[in-house]
Amino acid sequence: MNVGVIGTGLMGLPMAQRVLQAGLSLTVYNRTTAKLEPLRQAGATIASSPEALIRDCTAIVLMLTNADAIRSVLFESARTELAGKTIIQMSTIAPTESKAIQSEVTAAGGDYLEAPVLGSTPEATDGKLIVMVGGTEEQFDRWLDLLKCFGPEPRLLGPVGSASAVKLALNQLIGSLTAAFGASLGFVVQQGVDAEAFMQILRGSALYAPTFDKKLQRMLDRNFANPNFPTKHLLKDMRLFRTEADSLGLDARTIAAVEEILNQTIDLDLADADYSALFSAIVPPS
């Protein structure tokens, strides 16, 4: 079996490396060819185009920016290559988008399942991502060994759309929790309270989430370089969540507020910074 990976950015690169480490044959494609060099040196085949990769592979893993990028890769010139191939979509997109892509892949004679992941580059490198699967039991069983390259215990959540919904809900929490923590941290610090004294109380309470400590020093130092998850990507996910929530009749005003904070963060030229940079929008430098 030849596995293809399209998209070798922050997450796609270490995930592709995990496929090679499992001893599987790997073909890769990325618009920026320089990002493929570590994989070429490790033994991967470099495809000249998405359609060439799809033609040569049995299973194609997608780790792309958004649904528009996925549609471009799959349907602009490679649609005729999809028959008999399995597309494993692992990016964060909306449930409605995932279902629509499934319909197009199926109409072209291919098979489709979603398997978005929770975690960042360290977990991807170590094969410890949380892999959430939307598909059938038959698909899950067939591709379980491949999915275990990325995380030890992939979990089938239901049909296509289910895993995308859970992933988007989790990413919404990333934005909302980080914004709420940034506001509280900025408040106590500007009141003259020692940040560590505040954290000691927080850590001993039911309010604590480990992500607070992961972002604490970044916020205190205002050091948002070398991101595992850039601000612009979190903004994309918050927008997707709000759009889906609106369609379900949910009150998404709190989500819209976080979205606006992220917009302000990007206006500060922090689009490519770690998403904890939203602290700079909430607590402007004095």
* Residues annotated as catalytic (active site), given as ranges: 167
Is residue 188 within 8 Å of 236, Cβ to Cβ? no
| Helix/strand/coil percent split, the chain, to 5 | 55, 15, 30
- What SS3 string covers 187-249? HHHHCCCCHHHHHHHHHCCCCCCHHHHHHHHHHHHCCCCCCCCEHHHHHHHHHHHHHHHHHCC
Is residue 222 within 8 Å of 279, Cβ to Cβ? yes
Q: Which two tokens mark 47?
A: 């495809």
What is the dihedral angle through the alpha carbons of 165, 167, 168, 173, rounded to the nearest 10 degrees? 130
Q: Which two tokens mark 189?
A: 């610090």
